[in-house]
Chains A and B, each alone.
Chain A
């Protein structure tokens, strides 16, 4: 068995430097690699290109890096209600490549699975397709989109084992599996790290071969963006 566990978040992020391209899992604040993000703030690396569906909120998630101006460019599908993100984008301080959410997922998967590029219908006829190659198949138009190239991928899982196998929970799964193995080094943080052999091989979402380093994360805040509830009648 090939062991992937590292002692802590510091060891997990060894080698991260300025100017790198990073992938970060999560949708909104759900399933984001909280420990890795906190460490990126600590390391104070700058000029980063971040591939992540969102950029957190003003004071959490990738928003923390935006506030410190550590990010040069975001590749995302959604800005939403993140005011600092929108402000930096409109002022031109931050380069932003907005792409369709499914394209984002599949450009990650292409990198993971060794595909150089994919044809997707998303964005055809819009400014997203400007300057890109397009092509007709069976009477429908598609846009050629390339696999991402990234230095590190930071993902967050629910459970993981020392062989790097991962299991995600609920919709905190989102982009995390697609990013595993899609960068030169994939770092997984988990809520519970167990010995190899503990997880059922049939229930593993991402095999350890896609993960280079794994560690037990600490103090998960797991903030909720929109707390919607109903009353018991």
Chain B
């Protein structure tokens, strides 16, 4: 692979990819999360679940079938070994803990693992779709988002201000600056992304957090 400069989103997606184990069943939110598979090492194959009713989501491979779209409504394919089912069964899988990892974007995350990513009061409300079920049911919930909003304010807060998508549901937060784990004692800074120093993270993070032993020893 030719080493190239990654942009923020790519840095995030590449780090999220390291959380995946071979054979994991994964549901990816729309946008940034869909970039994750391209950063998986060759020996790690994940199985993608599409909330609209199948296992084995693949990229469009030429022919468009109007009856086969991904959860964003875009033409897609199904890989060998995949299976179709109805929406009820799709969410039995999701709510029932049969999805190993879900990766979603976030507007706000807080120290208690609360996530807000579905509405901003006063703005057009798209609806929560399957996000509330996903964060409630998936075994591991990873929020993949840029560290700060466009105005520079922290998206990692002491307490979410926006309406929640899920309460106490987030396991891991991956940004272009750092990786935080949500624990019973609040946030723990697990890793700094390449070239990022602790001071930068402290300045750009509203929530208080502990620092992992690994970083302290570094």
Physical interaction between A and B: no
Listed in ascending order, the chain A residues whose CB lies under 8 Å from chain B are: none
Interface residues of B, Cβ cutoff 8 Å to A: none
